């Protein structure tokens, strides 16, 4: 794989750390800012909605820039946003700072996925995208547990100062390693927008919203679940997050390879497995050892869906992928926000923390239905394209 992918992976590591570290720090943030756990959970939703809204806006604003310059600009926004998070004096300011940070997220991954796919042959494109997303999974193995440890021992603000430093390193990596290709910019905003007329592009976005939304029904509240239901200490939760991150890393690699071989069948199989694992976790969340094993397996199937979901939209918008790819990153975060909101709604209406996996399983099954519909439409379209043209009778 080309060396520039390492710069994209480093940037993904920084972005992933700031996105996910808040989950491990919900109790500390809620206590320090005098808000409830569900209110602190809305910081996840705010970030995710910021990605969804900011992604298309920044895609338009950066459409005339060379992709390297666009990536540099987005990392600069990321650095500023994390500095504001660290300096936030109250809940409102922290929410605003998280939204500012999130604006860089969607466009960076959207442009980065297109750049990653353009660096390799077509049969390796899903694996290249997976390699970029490896930075995101390693953020959960290394960045999030370390950030959680720092936040629990030195205050949650220190975690965001460290993430801002990671952003500086990522900016330097993009500057040094990503090629400055002036001929690799977007094909034109009008053409990018026309791609959105394709029904399969919208189905791909819906697959992403539901496919990853189920994960965040539980992941948003993973710290309270592990502490209050399973009985782990806050420090033990950090170790469980390492296990989850290790599962994400394994799933990311496996998902990329399977998607290169058979994208849609692999994706449907992963969604079935994801729903089953959530059903198991509803039971094992009461048993410490079983819960830890289930969280690891859950991580594998949760992120095995990411390369095929991203590759699907790039494939269906192949002739103008920039905006569609960026919108799909927004779709991931709409799913994140919806999942966090749905989990909070379930809790405020009387369901217990141990019931959240059942809600997550239902969302994963909904994603399976949409994916099966998209695969069926692929088959119908393939038959039409393969049908012989009848001879003209004079």
Task: Please give the residue that has the higher pLDDT: either 116 or 289.
Answer: 289
pLDDT of 296 strictly over 90: yes
Dihedral sign for Cα 57, 59, 60, 66, please.
Answer: positive
Task: Indicate the pLDDT class of residue 75, thresholds 50, 70 and 90.
Answer: very high
Q: How far apart are CA 225 and CA 54, in angstroms?
A: 31
Q: Note whether residue 95 is domain-resident.
A: yes
Q: How far apart are CA 216 and CA 176, in angstroms?
A: 35
**Mean pLDDT value across residues 292-304:** 92
Instruction: Tell me which DSSP letter residue 388 carries.
Output: P
**Mean pLDDT value across residues 362-369:** 94
Q: Note whether residue 386 is domain-resident.
A: no
Q: Note whether residue 361 is domain-resident.
A: yes
Task: Please give the residue that has the higher pLDDT: either 263 or 321.
Answer: 263
Q: How far apart are CA 20 and CA 194, in angstroms?
A: 34
pLDDT of 185 strictly over 60: no
pLDDT at 220: 84
Report the CATH number at residue 247.
Answer: 1.20.1250.20
Contact 288, 158 (CB under 8 A): no
Percent of the chain with pLDDT over 70: 92
Instruction: Tell me which DSSP letter residue 184 carries.
Output: G
Mean model confidence pLDDT for the chain = 84
Q: Note whether residue 306 is domain-resident.
A: yes
Q: Note whether residue 193 is domain-resident.
A: yes
pLDDT at 393: 39
303 is in which domain, residue-wise?
4-381
**Domain count of the fold of the chain:** 1
pLDDT at 288: 92
Nearest to 134 by CA among 39, 7, 253: 253
- Range list of β-strands (E), the chain: none
Task: Indicate the pLDDT class of residue 387, thresholds 50, 70 and 90.
Answer: very low
Task: Indicate the pLDDT class of residue 192, thresholds 50, 70 and 90.
Answer: low
pLDDT at 181: 62
Q: Note whether residue 353 is domain-resident.
A: yes
pLDDT at 380: 62
pLDDT at 1: 62
pLDDT at 184: 47
Q: What is the pLDDT of residues 212-243, one digit of tens each?
A: 899 989 988 888 899 899 998 888 887 888 88
**Mean pLDDT value across residues 137-141:** 79
Q: Note whether residue 390 is domain-resident.
A: no
Most confident of 131-140, 176-185, 339-348: 339-348
Both tokens of 7, joined, read 């710069």
Q: Note whether residue 65 is domain-resident.
A: yes
Task: Indicate the pLDDT class of residue 389, thresholds 50, 70 and 90.
Answer: very low
Q: What is the pLDDT of residues 94-114, one digit of tens each?
A: 999 998 888 888 788 888 887
């Amino acid at each position: 794989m080309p060396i520039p992918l390492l710069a994209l992976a480093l940037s993904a590591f920084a972005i992933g750390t700031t996105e996910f570290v808040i989950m491990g720090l919900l109790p500390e943030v809620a206590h320090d800012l005098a808000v409830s756990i569900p209110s602190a959970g809305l910081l996840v939703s705010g970030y995710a909605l910021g990605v969804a809204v900011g992604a298309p806006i920044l895609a338009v604003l950066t459409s005339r820039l060379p992709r390297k310059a666009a990536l540099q600009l987005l990392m600069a926004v990321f650095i500023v946003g994390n500095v504001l998070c660290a300096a936030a004096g109250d809940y409102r300011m922290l929410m605003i700072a998280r939204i500012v940070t999130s604006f860089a997220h969607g466009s960076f991954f959207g442009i980065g996925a297109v750049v990653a796919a353009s660096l390799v042959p077509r049969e390796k494109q899903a694996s290249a995208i997976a390699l970029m997303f490896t930075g995101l999974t390693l953020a959960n193995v290394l960045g999030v547990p370390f950030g959680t440890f720092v936040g629990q021992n030195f205050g949650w603000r220190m975690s965001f100062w460290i993430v801002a430093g990671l952003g500086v390193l990522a900016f330097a990596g993009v500057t040094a390693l990503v090629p400055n290709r002036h001929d690799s910019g977007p094909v034109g905003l009008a053409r990018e927008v026309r791609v959105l007329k394709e029904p399969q592009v919208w189905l791909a976005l819906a697959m992403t919203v539901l496919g990853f939304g189920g994960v965040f029904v539980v992941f948003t509240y993973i710290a309270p679940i592990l502490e209050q239901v399973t009985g782990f200490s806050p420090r033990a939760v950090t170790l469980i997050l390492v296990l989850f991150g290790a599962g994400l890393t394994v799933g990311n690699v496996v998902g990329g390879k399977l998607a290169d071989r058979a994208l849609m069948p692999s994706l449907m199989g992963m969604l079935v497995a994801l729903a089953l694992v959530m059903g198991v976790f509803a039971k094992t969340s009461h048993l410490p050892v079983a819960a830890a094993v289930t969280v690891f397996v859950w991580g594998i199937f949760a992120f095995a869906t990411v390369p095929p979901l991203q590759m699907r939209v790039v494939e269906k918008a192949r002739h103008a992928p920039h905006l569609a790819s960026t919108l799909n990153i927004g779709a991931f975060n709409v799913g994140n926000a919806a999942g966090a909101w749905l989990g909070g709604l379930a809790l405020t209406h009387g369901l217990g923390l141990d019931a959240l996996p059942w809600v997550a399983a239902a969302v994963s099954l909904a994603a399976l239905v949409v994916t099966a519909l998209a695969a069926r439409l692929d088959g119908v379209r393939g038959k039409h394209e393969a049908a012989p043209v009848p001879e003209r009778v004079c």
